[in-house]
Structure 1
Amino acid sequence: MPAPSQPPRPEYPRPSFVRQDWLNLNGTWEFARDPGDSGLERGLVGEPLPERITVPFCPESELSGIGDTDFQHAVWYRRTVRIPAEWAGRRTILHFGAVDHDATVWVNGTEVARHSGGFTPFSADLGEVARPGEEAVIVVRARDSARGPQARGKQSDRYANYSCLYTRTTGIWQTVWLEPVAATHLRRPRITPDLAGGCFHLELPLSGNRAGHRIRARLLDTHGTVAEASVEAHLDLAPRLVLPVPEDRRRPWSPEDPHLYEVELEVLDRSGTVVDRAVCTAGLRSVAIDGKRILINGKPVFQRLVLDQGWYPDGLMTAPDDASLVRDIELSIAAGFNGARLHQKVFEERFLHHADRLGYLVWGEFADWGASTGPVGEDNQQPTAGYVAQWAEALERDYSHPSIIGWCPLNETRQLLGDRATVLDEVTQALFRATKAADATRPVIDASGYAHRVRETDVYDSHCYEQDPEAFRELMAGLDKDQPMINPQDMEDWPEDTVWSLPYAGQPYFCSEFGGIWWNPEAAAEGRGYDRNVSWGYGQRPRDEEEFHERFAGLTGVLLDDPNMFGYCYTQLTDVFQEENGIYRFDRSLKLDVARVRAAQQRTAAYERGADS
């Protein structure tokens, strides 16, 4: 945890796009609960608030100092801060990493921002509302409906946790910070690696008047400058330039060698004065599809992924400290995984930064589990246009991270395939096409598990929690004949002729959820039974740890033996509340022999044996 003089989560929250000057606003804020959502009418914008909360932890969490897990239909925050006088001559930007779900922000009584979506960042230019050297009274209202069409991931729609739904997060749950910028300044750049061409392509959007301005870029490695280039800023809304990497300085980013270059960016005015400067990181790597193979840097790398839900006992969706983010990646690697599906939330940027530098492969995902518009789930996160808008914000934020090797905008959508398009069909198409338009460099899966509704989806998959390795092998057979398992083939609640998905069309295929072996040593020793609200996992609980390892090795072995399977994703990295099917406990402590879990995965996969063919 940070030293007493520091705010919680003191680290710079946007490590892939860093400016030198900033002010962390985490720490103690005034707070008020507003169960009737009447605070605006009651004048809370202009009034002190009665409670205190520790930001960036949500009021449901222990670390917030509130710890109220009841429904929070609306909450209010207030803090007074003096903007540093040394920022004079620059504009002040107020940044929010994430606020769940619908946020309105006032500064000195003036509304400066509105944002819908609990998983993506937004900012407010304070302009003349609060200038350097002056006090800014920041007030935030966050509204959060637990039952409705908004995307909420795995947050419970009941009072208590149940099944695979967990304690809710309301309000501010990522870092709040101030940053001074020039009137003409860089927005988030897009850095595209081109391994085949030996260069990086940069798109450099600017804010403000571009007349007479120029952008200068410099690429560096540990030996110094690799390349330099500049571009006139006024010729394009998002000026582009190329930074070539000489052959003797090319060092591809990979899990074995996660090399990152540094990119220094400067904006110069017509007099040649630097008015904005930022530092980014970049990895030179490629992702490609070759038949049923996904290639990383031209080679088939078997993706030994684990499902990571990013929940913490004391911080809920917010890691208690930066070290906890690093630890989760290190725990996964120690167990033999080389990456993760970042499941049902948009992880904070610092996690991706650590994945970049540690060589950890990840699939970026949105938080919309079980979206449906039909009788299967009438009120289970009904998809709306807001899904597309919020997902576009996530894509914009995370585009330049080399650790991300694929996108997954939907998870386990549930609706029968009919002869008339539904809202789910339209939103699935919109999310897929928006992702492809935003990023032509990574594969996109239209929906992980269950309902594949886009014919040209780059990747096809299934979720299968069959616990018997031989039965699992039978279900997974057929990929070599283009007849892989398609959900809901293994689901007892659905007849065999149920059709949710369009046919498989020869895409790269993987089992993107399997295993989930229920294992709680204490519950097993005490003979406690299966209860989805208290303790559960998939299948019959093993008699002992030895049976766990035999089952784990058997299930993973089925997929490692398939030369057409490019990877898998085991459920899951840690227990999460009542869901006790993690490799580690919820508090990240050991509950089984991790070395044996690692050993079961480390043999060469059949997919990798064909690397030179």
Structure 2
Amino acid sequence: MVKIPRSEHPRPNFQRSSWQSLNGLWDFSFDAPLFDKKILVPFVFESSLSGIDETDFHDIVWYKRTFSVPEVYKNQRTLLHFGAVDYGCTVMVNGKTVSFHEGGQVSFVVDITGEIMFGKENEVILRVFDHHADLEQPRGKQYWEEEPKSIFYTQSTGIWQSVWLEFVPASYVESVRITPLFDEKSVQFEYELQGDPNLSFESEIFFEGDPITTVCVKPNGLKGSFKVLLQNTTNKYWNFYEDMVWSPENPRLFDVVFTLRSKEAVVDTVASYFGMRKTSIENGMFLLNNKPYYQKLVLDQGYWEESLLTAPTDEAFVEDIELTKAMGFNGVRKHQKVEDPRYLYHADRLGLLVWAEIGSAYHYSVSYASRMYREWEARVLRDYNHPCIVTWVPLNESWGVQEIATSKRQQAHSCALVHMTKSLDETRPVICNDGWEHTNGDMLTVHDYEGEVGTFASHYKDLEALWEYRPAGKAHYVGGFSYSGEPVMVSEFGGIQCLADQSSESGKNWGYTSVNSSREFSDNLHLLFQALLKSKLVQGYCYTQLTDIGTETNGLLTIGRKPKLPLSVIRGINNGLQPDLEEK
């Protein structure tokens, strides 16, 4: 009997008790529906954990498995959820096509109630396409050539996040958008229901196990919103801003139970949570909870040697977050990836800031742009409720918009993504094009891999020095756009390869710069970090990177999560301390 992998609830911030994992062994085949192989879902066939471990390109793959739905759910609706399937897929249940979805980085759900048999075996088949050479397809770091190299890695094809069934009543809570109103000491709930519009909608809020308040509304239809005051003189948490707000240092969360009721009984129940925190930019400064906050981020690309983009276990997410915090970082750039909601959940509860990105395409076209808009919208809406996310980053280093310096259409695309994001979420800053060639974003972010410390430090002496520096030879702003006092962040730097600790063949290893010993590694890190910490211009940074990946061996950790320096040494460097390290 194969143990079901990744069997934890896939969506912990909107959770019902009635669900069933479909992870595990599926029938599988390349190219045609022969189903002559077995694959362990949710791991892609290119990974060793899948049981196949083949990295040859296959643009079409097929999945099949059977499942049964207990008779107890006969009067409920059955929803089939996919965490992510790269890139496009057709879903068939009991021989009938029920859905087509395009976009390899976001979740989707199919109501299969009308197609299933209760108490009997049902069959689901997926036909997945992932055209490896289509550079207009958002893909992130998945390489389109046979051998990964430089900053590009092994591709991931097909199902790479959990598949699961959810059982809901005929009338149910479809979604709740949760917005912390920090300055009002309140929270806003915007709900959407399905089914009977004449039911009552109840929200019961708890803090650290103590009931705070219960609010019940009678909807006039299937949509509505209301606000709830979270502080009053009767609860023991009298100082709201000291006792009840969320930050990396104190990741306090409120629990909330949403209940749909008829006059006679409970119809539907969903468990969720939220954090009271505010992000804003005022007078050229990034603020967290109305206070200046220096962001110390590390670039985290979320790869594992045995499972690629999919975490091998839920505990692997926790390990990465705990290692990140132990090294003195208060956040991550989740780079070129839409991360699993389980990671965001752990970042919420453990306290870690997240800059949320999406995998880029590499050629601009109308097809690319429309794909990007659809997938980016789904990404923002799905993860809106996570307090850990403090910044949205739709574009990186002009990938997908290579001619943005001169192309008005590509400039409009960058601006459109910013405006689109703000139309969906007005509570978070948006970076238009991280690294260089900015348009209308909320921060000026710079990528700088200069290895000579004196030169690196000179770039951030003042604004005049910054304008003289051209990252990768590119302008900070494209024509028609200019700096207007945005916070300055060095959102990529470092990338140092330590030759004393190699995890793959030395001839293939790569880094932006290299050092020969652990002592030299720690000293160089200290000088680079010090240059930014002492700069009066820079308000935060993001070091490249958390782990080695493939031949890019410039991580603070190996791909197996072994630290290359003592965690305490890196933490001290983050805090501006001179490293004390014996020669290695």
Q: What TM-score comes out, normalization by structure 1 length?
A: 0.88
Say if 1:77 and 1:140, in contact at 8 Å, map to a contact too: yes
1:340-379 alignment, distance < 5 Å: 340-368=332-360, 371-373=362-364
Partner of 1:484: 466
Could you say if the C-alpha distance between residues 171 and 5 of structure 1 is closer, same or farther in structure 2, counting changes exceeding 3 Å?
A: closer
Residue identity over aligned pairs, in percent, reads 36
Give the structure 2 partner of residue 198 of structure 1: 185
**What is residue 7 of structure 1 aligned with on the other side?**
4
Offset at residue 496 of structure 1 (A) = 8.2
The question of whether the paired residues in 1 share the 8 Å contact of 2:442 and 2:486 is answered with yes
Match of 2:79 among 93, 103, 109: 93
Structure 1 counterpart of 2:250, from 244, 257, 271 = 257
Unaligned runs of 5+ in 1: 374-378, 605-613
1:317 CA drift (Å)? 0.3
- 1:482-536 Cα distance to aligned partner (Å, 9 max, x none): x63587x143xx4889967832221111010000011131559x9x87x6xx101
1:415–1:498 distance in 2 versus 1, CA, 3 Å:
farther
Once the two structures are superposed, residues 280-309 of structure 1 have per-residue CA deviations (whole angstroms, 9 ceiling, x without a partner) of 011011111112211111111211000000
User: Partner residue of 1:158?
Assistant: 145
Deviations 1:34-59 (A, max 9, x none): 0xxxx4xxxx3xxx621110000000
Corresponding residue SS for 2:80: strand
What SS class does the counterpart of residue 393 from structure 1 fall into? helix
Matched, 1:515 2:494: yes
Larger mean CA deviation between 22-31 and 4-13 belongs to 4-13
Matched-pair contact (CA < 8 Å) for 1:516–1:570? yes
SS of 2:115's equivalent? coil
Relative to structure 1, the CA distance from residue 212 to residue 575 in structure 2 (aligned partners, 3 Å threshold; closer, same or farther) is: same
Separation of aligned partners in 2, 1:495 and 1:600: 30
Q: Distance in 2 between matches of 1:167 and 1:486?
A: 37
Within 2, Cα distance between the matches of 1:450 and 1:164?
18
Structure 2, unmatched stretches of 5+, are 578-584
Task: Quote the RMSD (CA, aligned, Å).
Answer: 2.3
Aligned-pair CA distance for 1:195: 1.6
Equivalent pair of 2:46/2:53 in contact (CA under 8 Å): yes
2:248 matches 1:227? no
Residue 384 of structure 1 deviates from its aligned partner by 1.9
SS in structure 2 of the partner of residue 388 of structure 1? helix
Give the aligned partner of residue 610 of structure 1: none
TM-score (norm 2): 0.92
Could you tell me which of 442, 465, 468 is aligned with 1:458?
A: 442
C-alpha contact 2:344 2:386 (8 A) present in aligned 1: yes
CA contact (8 A) 1:29 1:52 kept: yes
Deviation of residue 602 (structure 1)?
1.5
Deviation at residue 182 of structure 1 after TM alignment: 1.4
Do the aligned partners of 1:103 and 1:115 also contact (CA within 8 Å) in 2?
yes
Structure 1 equivalent of residue 582 of structure 2: none
Matched residue type, 2:351: G
1: CA distance, partners of 2:143 / 2:248: 35
Secondary structure of the 1:275 match is strand
Contact 1:364 1:408 in 2 (8 A): yes
The Cα offsets for residues 60-113 of structure 1, whole Å up to 9 and x where unpaired, read as 000000111011201000001011211121000000000000011000011111
DSSP-derived class of the 1:448 partner: coil
**Aligned pair in 2 of structure 1 residues 496, 326: CA closer, same or farther (>3 Å)?**
closer
Shift of 1:382: 7.9
2:50 aligned with 1:57, yes or no? Answer: no
Distance 2:325 2:479 in 1: 35
Does the Cα contact within 8 Å between 1:385 and 1:427 map onto a contact in 2? no
Answer whether contact 1:230 1:241 (CA < 8 A) is retained: no
Find the residue that maps to 1:66 and give its secondary structure.
Answer: coil
Q: After TM superposition, give the deviation of residue 186 of structure 1 in Å.
A: 1.4
Shift in CA distance, 522/293, structure 1 to aligned 2, threshold 3 Å: closer
Q: What SS does the aligned partner of 1:330 have?
A: helix
Matches of 1:501 and 1:255, distance apart in 2 = 37
In the alignment, what sits opposite 1:395?
380
Aligned to 1:297: 289
Report if aligned partners of 1:583, 1:594 keep a CA contact under 8 Å in 2: no
Quote the offset at 1:555 in angstroms: 0.8
Query: 224-233 or 18-27: which moved more?
Result: 224-233
2:98 aligned counterpart, secondary structure: strand
SS in 2 for 1:277: strand
What is the total number of aligned residue pairs between the two structures? 566
Q: Secondary structure at the match of 1:202?
A: strand
Q: CA deviation at 1:595?
A: 1.9
Offset, 1:538: 0.8
Q: Quote the Cα distance in structure 1 between the aligned partners of 2:552 and 2:139.
A: 18
Over 3 Å counting, the alpha-carbon distance change for 1:496 and 1:135 in structure 2 is closer
